[in-house]
Amino acid sequence: AQKVTQAQTEISVVEKEDVTLDCVYETRDTTYYLFWYKQPPSGELVFLIRRNSFDEQNEISGRYSWNFQKSTSSFNFTITASQVVDSAVYFCALSEGRDSGTYKYIFGTGTRLKVLA
């Protein structure tokens, strides 16, 4: 069965601190995709990154970086030098087509990040 676990319900940091959001996934498929989305108070899910299961290279985009490790089924997200505007709920999601071919997203329960000035 597919499952995504975001064990951190809420994290509070002071501005300029680094913070890592954890994501652990379960899947039986060998071809799958992992995503991170940001949901600010406005409610819209904003796409951050997509990774396929064959590409384990870590990625950096500005202050954001992602660490994909198949050996531990984890896809963690780090924000460097956090800012107040980073405050939001962050969702990790898994997509695979083994069971239904739909590639529907399976979301974690989200991590609420609060960055304090």
Partner 1 sequence: GAGVSQSPRYKVAKRGQDVALRCDPISGHVSLFWYQQALGQGPEFLTYFQNEAQLDKSGLPSDRFFAERPEGSVSTLKIQRTQQEDSAVYLCASSFIAPQETQYFGPGTRLLVL
Task: Give the binding site for partner 1 (CB under 8 A).
Answer: 4, 33, 35, 37, 42-47, 50, 91, 93, 95, 97, 100-110
The residues facing 25 across adjacent strands are 4
- Closest approach of partner 1 to the CB of residue 50, in Å: 5
- Of 40 and 58, the one with the shorter C-beta distance to partner 1 is 40
* Contact assessment for residue 26 and residue 2, using Cβ atoms and an 8 Å cutoff: yes
Q: How many other C-beta atoms lie within 10 A of the C-beta of residue 90?
A: 24
Taking the least distance from each CB to partner 1, the nearer of 12 and 109 is: 109
In the bound state with partner 1, the residue whose beta carbon lies nearer, of 64 and 107, is 107
Select 17 or 55, whichever has its Cβ closest to partner 1. Answer: 55
CB of 91 to partner 1, least distance (A): 6
25-38 burial, b if ≥16 CB within 10 A, otherwise e? Answer: bebeeeebbbbbbb
What are the start-end ranges of the H helices in the chain?
none
Alpha-carbon torsion angle 26, 28, 30, 33, nearest 10: -40
**Shortest spacing between CB 75 and partner 1, in angstroms:** 15
Q: How far is the CB of 107 from partner 1 (least distance, A)?
A: 3
